[in-house]
Amino acid sequence: MTTAAIPYTVEPRPDTGLNNVKLGIWLFLASEVMLFGALFASYILLRVGAPPGTWPEGATILNVPLATLNTAVLISSSVTMVMAWASCMKRDLGKFRLYMGLTVLCGVGFLIIKAIEYGAKFQHHLLPSTNTFLAIYFTLTGLHALHVIGGMAVNAWFWGPGSKMWHTAHQQFTNRVETAGLFWHFVDLVWIFLFPILYLL
């Protein structure tokens, strides 16, 4: 591999106090905010534009208990994620493996529950094409699910092969776990808004 030695990949640049990846991930999250922002905007426009009475209340179609459970699952995964990072700080590989593993499992759990929800909808022929509410529901949750999968892939990597770096470049490994964590928390954060907007209102 040839890349010239690029400064501040691990240690922070003094005047900004940040390393490149930290700034990079936050910028990425900024663009993500705009992505979901646009979809929320669409939700608002479609909902206020809908002829009175034609917009179904989420709860009447969707499965609130399951979604509540899913919210809990995702929140838990967030806390295990941050714990995994804390274990890096404390250089406790065993704990790290444990928490990171739990995080990934929570991700899996979340997706399974989501899959069950989707399946139920499809059975009752509630499809994206049924009405604009379901259209935005499937689009938003689908996109969110893609993010969950992406985050899980990264986390799984750090849990498994990636953790080789634990000994070779611990500080950098910690930074990366933090970065992956930031993304994961963001995914959680998005859900925290999706849940009431789609299911409860």
Partner 1 sequence: MAQPGTAEREERHDDHSAAHEADHQLGFWRRVVFSVDHKVIGIQYTVTSLFFLLFGFSLMMLARWQLANPGEALPVIGALFGASRMPGGVMLPEFYNQLGAMHGTIMVFMGVVPLAVGGFGNFVVPLQIGAPDMAFPRLNMASYHAYFWGGVIMLASFFVPGGAAQSGWTSYPPLSDIAPTGQTVWLVGMIFLITSSLLGSINFIVTIIQLRAPGLTFFRLPFFVWAQFVTAFLLLLAFPPLEAASFMQLMDRVAGTSFFLPSGLVVTGQALEVSGGGSPILWQHLFWFLAHPEVYVLILPAMGIIAEVIANNTRKPLWGYKALVYSVVGIGFLSFVVWAHHMFLTGMGTVMNAFFQTTTMIISIPSVIILTALILSLWGASMRFNTPMLFALAFLPMFGIGGLTGLPLGLSAADIHLHDTNYVIGHFHYVVAPGTIFALFAGIYYWFPKATGRRMSETLGKLHFWPSLLFMNGIFFPMLIQGMAGMQRRLYDGGASYSHAQDVLWWNDVMSWSAWGLGLTQVFFIVNFFWSLKKGAPAAANEWQATTLEWSAAPSPPPHGNFAVQPVVYRGPYEYSVPGMERDYLPQDDPSETAADTGSGHGLPDPVPAE
Partner 2 sequence: MSEQHAVDHGAHHDHADVDRHVRVYVLVFVALLVLTVVTVAISYLDLPTGPAVALALFVALVKGSLVACFFMHLISEKKLILWVLALTVFMFLGVLLGPWITDLDQVKLFGT
Tell me: does residue 181 bind partner 2 (CB under 8 A): yes
Contacting partner 2 (CB under 8 A), which of 16, 115, 122, 142? 16
Residue whose structure tokens are 């404390």: 90
Q: Is 8 left (phi over 0), alpha (psi -120 to 50) or beta?
A: left
**Restricting to residues 5-24, which ones interact with partner 1 according to CB under 8 A?**
5-10, 13, 16, 18-21, 23-24
Q: Which is nearer to partner 2, 37 or 160 (CB)?
A: 37
Tell me: does residue 7 bind partner 2 (CB under 8 A): no
Q: How far is CA 104 from CA 7, 38, 150, 199, in A?
A: 32, 29, 11, 25
Q: Which is nearer to partner 2, 1 or 48 (CB)?
A: 48
H-helix segments, 50-131: 58-61, 64-89, 93-123
Q: What is the dihedral of CA 62, 145, 74, 64, to 10 degrees?
A: 0
The CB-of-127 to partner 2 minimum distance in angstroms stands at 23
Tell me: does residue 121 bind partner 1 (CB under 8 A): no
Q: Which is nearer to partner 2, 26 or 122 (CB)?
A: 26
Tell me: does residue 37 bind partner 1 (CB under 8 A): yes
The CB-of-184 to partner 1 minimum distance in angstroms stands at 9
Following DSSP, what letter does each residue of 21-35 receive, concatenated?
HHHHHHHHHHHHHHH
The CB-of-65 to partner 1 minimum distance in angstroms stands at 27
Q: Which is nearer to partner 2, 86 or 98 (CB)?
A: 86
Q: Which stretch binds partner 1 (CB under 8 A): 47-55, 66-74, 100-108, 188-196?
A: 47-55
Tell me: does residue 30 bind partner 2 (CB under 8 A): yes
Q: How far is CA 172 from CA 8, 123, 155, 162, in A?
A: 11, 47, 15, 11
Q: Which of 151, 139, 138 is nearest to 110 (CA)?
A: 151
Q: Which two tokens stand for residue 109?
A: 């759990």
The CB-of-79 to partner 2 minimum distance in angstroms stands at 4
**Restricting to residues 61-100, which ones interact with partner 1 according to CB under 8 A?**
none
- Greatest CA separation found in the chain? 62
The item of partner 1, partner 2, none sharing an interface with residue 122, based on CB under 5 to 8 Å by kind, is: none
